[in-house]
Homo-oligomer: A and B are copies of this chain.
Amino acid sequence: MNILILGGGGVLGQKLALKLAANPTLKGQAITQVTLADVVDPPKIDAPFPVQTVTCDIADAASVAKCVTAQTDVIYLLAAIVSAHAEEDFDAGMNINLFGTYNVLERCRVLGIVPTVVFSSSIAIYGGEAQDPLGDHSYPNPQTSYGMQKAAGEMLINDYSRKGFIDGRAFRLPTVSVRPGKPNRAASSFMSSILREPLNGQDAICPVEADFLHYYISPRRCVENLVKGAELNAADIGQNRVMQMPGKTWSIAQVIEAMTAVAGTDPAKLIRWDPQPDIKRIVSGWRWDIHADKALRLGLKADDTFEDNIRYYLEDDKHTA
C-alpha cells in the first residue's frame, strides 16, 4: 500500500502520517511507503515503512506528475489555501484549491491507476440562502471563494469517480480544534487559538461573541475518520462520494467551559474579547446545524465531548507548543 499525502507538511497531513506509522496497514494491507508532499519540504516522521518527503506544488501539473506515479495506491488530497487566505488572494485559491485538485485527478486519469483519493472538503461549502439543517445532500452555497473551490472540487471527485478514473471519497471537514501550532490564515483560526494559546499560558483574542455556535472535530478524531474514509468500500459509499464528516456543535462559551473543566480556571482568564467585523462577516456565513448521516452510518465518528478535544490537545500536541 503506497500512500501519497498531498499537504503532508500540514497539521492533518503530519498527524495522519503518524497515525499510519503507529498502525502500518491500510485497507487490510501493509503500508509499503508513505510520501509526504507539500509546497515546502515536509518534516519527516519515524515509521516502520519508508517515508519519502518531496516538495510539490499541486498548481503545477508537472510537479504533480512527479508525486503521483504508477505505484501510487492511495492519495490524501489535503493541500489547500485556507479560507481567509483564499479570500484575500483569489488567484492562489483558484490555482491550488480548484486547478490543483484538477491537476491531481487528471494525473490519475492519464496514468490509468484508479487510486483511492480522499479529498478534504469543508463545511465552508454551506451557507447563504440554503436552509438549515444542512447535511450530505444540502445545496452548496458557499460565501467564500474557498468554499466555492471546495464545492467545485467535490463535483470533480464525484465525476472522476463516476467515470472510473479514481475511487474517490470527499469529506466536508468540520473546523478542526484544538489545532496545534501557530494561527493560520483560516478565518476559523481563532477557534483553536482561544484554547491553544491560553493552555500554553499565552494571551488570545476572541473576535466573536460567547454564544457563537460552530461545528467542530478534534484533530485526533479527524485523522481517525480520514483513515476510515480510505478504507470504506466504494459500494457502501454509493454513487455520491461526498459526505459530511461527523462533528459536534458547541458555542464559544461551551468550548471555554470544557477547557476550564479539564485545565482549571486560569486559561480562560487569558482570553481577551475583541469583536472583529472582518472575521465575523466571514464566519457568520458559515453554518452550525449540520448533520453527517451518511458518514455516521458508514462508521465515522464525532468527538464525544469538547473536553476530549482539550485532552487530546494536551496529550498529543501541547509538548510541541
Contact = CB atoms under 8 A, between A and B. Distances in A.
A191 B137 CA distance: 29
Interface string A171-203: 000000000000000000000000000000000
Interface residues of A, number: 28
Given A129-B137, A139-B139, A151 B155 contact: yes
A142 B163 CA distance: 12
A140 B90 CA distance: 24
A128 interface: yes
Copies of this subunit: 2
B162 A143 contact: yes
A143 B155 CA distance: 10
Contacts of A73: none
A265 interface: no
A321 B145 CA distance: 46
A130 to B, nearest CB: 6
A138 interface: yes
A148 interface: yes
A236 to B, nearest CB: 14
Interface in A116-144: 128-131, 137-143
Contacts of A303: none
Interface string A11-52: 000000000000000000000000000000000000000000
A156 B140 CA distance: 12
Nearest to A148: B159
A163 B130 contact: no
B163 A156 contact: no
A222 B129 CA distance: 26
A156 B148 contact: yes
A137 B148 contact: no
Contacts of A138: 139
A277 interface: no
A225 interface: no
Nearest to A106: B94
Given A139-B138, A152-B156, A155-B151, A145 B163 contact: yes
A276 interface: no
Contact of A140 (B94, B131, B140): B140
A158 interface: yes
A14 B162 CA distance: 35
A280 to B, nearest CB: 17
A137 B163 CA distance: 26
B155 A238 contact: no
Contacts of A128: 239-240
